[in-house]
Amino acid sequence: MQKELAHNDLAKYYDLLYSWKDYGKEARTIKQLIKKYKKSDGKDLLEVACGTGKHIQYFKNDFSVLATDGNKGMLDIARKNVRGVPFKQADMVHLRLGKTFDVVLCLFSSIGYVKTLPNLEKTIKNFARHLNVGGVVIIEPWFRKSVYEVGSPHMTTYEDKDTKIARLAISEARGNVSVFDMHYLVAERNKEVRHFVDRHELGMFEPNDMLAFMKKAGLEAHFLKNGLLKDRGLYIGVKKN
């Protein structure tokens, strides 16, 4: 099992810090893409790196879903957020579920956490292996190098009457890996203010490599420049016969 990538303890702040994100709108866009590209008849959907389950809640009524993530803390929250969906802890680099699906989703840059090109190749092969013929995989990538700005400061904040959070980082890079030391300052009612540092390292993968690995894995591969979030794009793969 690969090292846990967000500390279990920090998972409880994830939904607060990403409360700006419109998961419902993204799910509607993804459903349109599934309708356009999917050629298989079934409705089995796998989400890998599902985080706290914020996308899967919009799919559970239309599909038979399974959701996986590598981090136990995220899954504990996902199970509370979304009832009636099976969640399973699994590392996408070594994914072997013994079942195939009509849709595989890997969203919000999670693919970047595999970090290296050999891991990326393995992971894409795993996605293809878990698809039925005519099934579709949708991968929302992390930034590619040409649109990643080194040295810029980032801040995300959250507050309600019992909790205040500030998360700050400077975007850094080592070769093709972006590195963020996320500094959290957390103030919660009747506790001392706490400071955590959570390091995130994500591979910046180029469309050429992504598309080549997808084709090699037996997928008809597309890169859409305009995806769900600015500057990231979206990869779509359809499993060939």
Q: Is residue 178 a contact point for ligand SAM (CB under 6 A)?
A: no
Distance CA 57, CA 60 (A): 6
Q: What residues form DSSP beta bridges with 239?
A: 219
* 78 lines the binding site for ligand SAM (CB under 6 A): no
CB of 47 to ligand SAM, least distance (A): 7
Q: Is 85 in the site for ligand SAM (CB under 6 A)?
A: no
Question: Would you say the C-alpha torsion 204, 209, 211, 213 has a positive or negative sign?
Answer: negative
Please enumerate in sequence order all residues whose Cβ is within 8 A of that of 117, keeping only pairs 6 or more positions apart, or say none.
Answer: 203, 205, 209
Is the CB of 20 or the CB of 175 nearer to ligand SAM?
Answer: 20
Q: x/- string (CB under 6 A) for ligand SAM, residues 30-59?
A: -------------------xxx--xx----
Under the binding rule (CB under 6 A), the answer on residue 71 touching ligand SAM is yes
73, 7 Cβ separation under 8 angstroms:
yes
Whether 51 contacts 72, CB under 8 Å: no
State both tokens at 140.
């929302």
Query: Is 5 an interacting residue with respect to ligand SAM (CB under 6 A)?
Result: yes
Residue number closest to ligand SAM, CB atom: 51
40 or 71: CB nearest ligand SAM: 71
Asked if residue 107 binds ligand SAM (CB under 6 A), the reply is yes
- Binding ligand SAM (rule: CB under 6 A), the pick from 93, 104, 217, 228 is 93
In this chain, which stretch among 67-75, 189-197, 214-222, 231-239 interacts with ligand SAM, using CB under 6 A? 67-75
Query: From the CB of 154, what's the least distance to ligand SAM, in Å?
Result: 14
Nearest to 55 by CA among 7, 18, 11: 18
Strand partners, 57: none
Q: Of the listed pieces 86-94, 146-154, 156-164, 173-181, which binds ligand SAM according to CB under 6 A?
A: 86-94
∠ at Cα 137 (59, 237), nearest 5°?
145
Rule CB under 6 A: say whether 8 interacts with ligand SAM: no
Q: Which of 66-74, 143-151, 172-180, 221-229 is the region at the interface with ligand SAM (rule: CB under 6 A)?
A: 66-74
- Residue 114: exposure state from Cβ atoms within 10 A (0-12, 13-18, ≥19): buried
Contact predicate 128/218, CB 8 Å: yes
Positions in the binding site for ligand SAM (CB under 6 A): 2, 5-6, 49-51, 54-55, 69-71, 74, 91-93, 107-110, 113-114
